[in-house]
Structure 1
C-alpha cells in the first residue's frame, strides 16, 4: 500500500521501519524535519508538506501527541484534508488511521469531518510502548467501519501482534482509555510498593524476582521496577502522556456516569507530579512523587 505517515517519533519511527520492511511504500512527514529525514536510510520518502501526501497515498497514518495535533495534521492549514486549498478534496486518500491516544468524542468529530471528503477514519491507538513498537508486537484496538478495518488490519499487522476491532469510530479510543486505567493504576501501585520496600530496607530491585509467577507478576512490574530503582535507562515516554490520558479518561467517565475512584486517585498523583516539574520525566516518575511525599 502507498502510505503517508505523520509523526515519526519514539513510537512512529519504528512503526514506519516495520511498514517499509513489509514492502509498503511510505512517505513521511514530521514537524521536526530531522525525524523524517532519519528514515530515509530505511527507504522512507520524506515529504515537505502534509498536503503533498494526497497526490500519492491511499492511507495516512498519524501518531502524534494529542487531539489538537491530530486536528492540525489532518484539518489544519496545509493539512491532509485542510480546506485552505482551492482543491480541498482528499486526492487519492481513502483512509486516515489515527494511532494517537485522544478522547473518543474528538475521534467521532474527526471521523464525521473526514467523511465529508469521502475518507474513512479508523481510530487505532496502541499499547506496548516503545519496546512493542520496536519489536513489532504492539496491541492495537480499533474503531471504524468494518470495510476500512479489514483493508487496513493486514497493513497494521506489520508492527502489531494483535489488531482488534472494537466497534464504530471512537470505540478504539474508549478501549485505549480502559487500557490506560489499568496501566496507570498499576504503575502507580508499583511505585508505592517500591517506595515501601525502600523505606523498610528491602532491596526493591529484587521485587520482580520475588514476585515472579505470583498474581503481582506482570510485564509492567518487570518493566518499571528497574526504571524506578536504577539509572541509565533510555526514556520510553513522558509522564505528561499518562496525565493527558487519565484526564481524557476522567472526561469520558463523567460523560457516561462511570464510577472510577481508583482512576480519580491516580489522576491527582499525576497532577501532583506535573506540579513538581516531572511533566517531561520518564513514565516511571511515579516513584519520584512517592519518594517526595515520603521524604
Structure 2
C-alpha cells in the first residue's frame, strides 16, 4: 500500500490497545499516513507514540472519547473481558461511537464470544463488528506482514480492509461473524504443536551432545524448516531478555481451542497434551516467560489416556 500523505484523504482511525502487538500495529498506521486516535490503559505508550507522529495522532482520555473522533475503530486487547470492557463499559466505545461505525477487533477469543459482541454492537450502534485476529507475531506487525483472518459481513470487511494493509500483507474473509476467530484457533493449533515439536527436538539435541546452535542452519530448506524453527529455536537455546509472546497468552488461546472443540464434539488429543505442558509451565512460575521457554519444563512421559479426552 502506498503511503498516504494528505490527511483529508484518509478516515480517522481509533486504535485501542497498545500492547506487544497493538503498539507496532498502531505505529504502522501512523507511519502510513492515517490520522489515529489512541487509547491505552496506561497512557505512557500512547504518549510516546503520539510524540513521534508529527501531529497525525491524538490521545483519547477514554475509549468513548476515541470513538467520538473516529470513522473506524480498531482493537488489539488481551482477552474477551478486556474487549467487552473497552467496547461496552461505562466509558466504552459504544458511548461515543458514531452511528453505524465499524469495529475491527484484532483480539483473540472464542467464536461464540465474538458473535455475542457483534450482535450487541449492532443493536447499540447500528455498526458492524469484524472479528479479525492476526498471525505473524510482533515481527510481522513491525514489518507490516501480518496475516488477518476476518469474520463478518463481506461489505463491512471490504470497507475496513484498506487501513489493515498498513500492518498486514493479507486480509482474508473466512465467513460470517466468528469465522475469523475460529480460523485463528485453528492457526494456534498449528503454531503451538510446532513449537512443542521444536522444543522436544531441541531437548533431544541438548541431551545427546548435538550442537543446538547449529540446528536452524542445518535444517534450513528441509521439511522441518519453518519460520517458527528459525525464530524460536535460538530462543530455546538462549532465553530472550523480553518475550515476544508469553506462555500465559498461548495457554489462554488453547483454553479457547478446547472449549470450541468441546462445543463441536471434536477430540484434539495432541492439543490436550500440549495444553497440559503449558499449564505445568505456569505452575512453575513461567506464565510471563517467552513461549520458547516450555523447553525448560519437564512433563511426565506417560499420560493417562483419559487426559486426551476433551
Same fold (TM over 0.5): yes
Residue ranges of structure 2 left out of the alignment (5+ in a row):
1-10, 302-310
Write the distance in 2 (CA, Å) between the matches of 1:167 and 1:132.
24
Residue ranges of structure 1 left out of the alignment (5+ in a row):
82-87
Q: SS state of the match for residue 39, structure 1? A: helix
Give every structure 1 segment of 4 or more consecutive aligned residues whose post-TM-superposition deviation is greater than 3 Å: 231-234
CA distance 1:54–1:232, shift in 2 (3 Å): closer
After TM superposition, give the deviation of residue 258 of structure 1 in Å: 1.6
Q: Contact 1:137 / 1:159 at 8 angstroms: preserved in 2?
A: yes
Q: SS state of the match for residue 240, structure 1? A: helix
Which residue of the partner structure matches residue 101 of structure 2? 94
After TM superposition, give the deviation of residue 68 of structure 1 in Å: 0.3
> Aligned pair 1:132/2:140, yes or no?
yes
Matches within 5 A, 1:252-263: 252-263=260-271
The equivalent position to 1:14 in structure 2, one of 8, 15, 24, is 24
Q: Contact 1:56 / 1:92 at 8 angstroms: preserved in 2?
A: no
Q: Contact 2:100 / 2:128 at 8 angstroms: preserved in 1?
A: no
Q: Contact 2:137 / 2:146 at 8 angstroms: preserved in 1?
A: yes
Which residue of the partner structure matches residue 84 of structure 1? none
Q: SS state of the match for residue 38, structure 1? A: helix
User: Would you say how many aligned residue pairs link Structure 1 and Structure 2?
Assistant: 287
Which residue of the partner structure matches residue 150 of structure 2? 142
Q: Contact 1:60 / 1:97 at 8 angstroms: preserved in 2?
A: yes
| RMSD, aligned α-carbons | 1.5
After TM superposition, give the deviation of residue 232 of structure 1 in Å: 4.3
Which residue of the partner structure matches residue 61 of structure 1? 74
After TM superposition, give the deviation of residue 259 of structure 1 in Å: 2.0
> Aligned pair 1:182/2:195, yes or no?
no
Which residue of the partner structure matches residue 223 of structure 2? 215
Q: Contact 1:54 / 1:92 at 8 angstroms: preserved in 2?
A: no
Which residue of the partner structure matches residue 4 of structure 1? 14
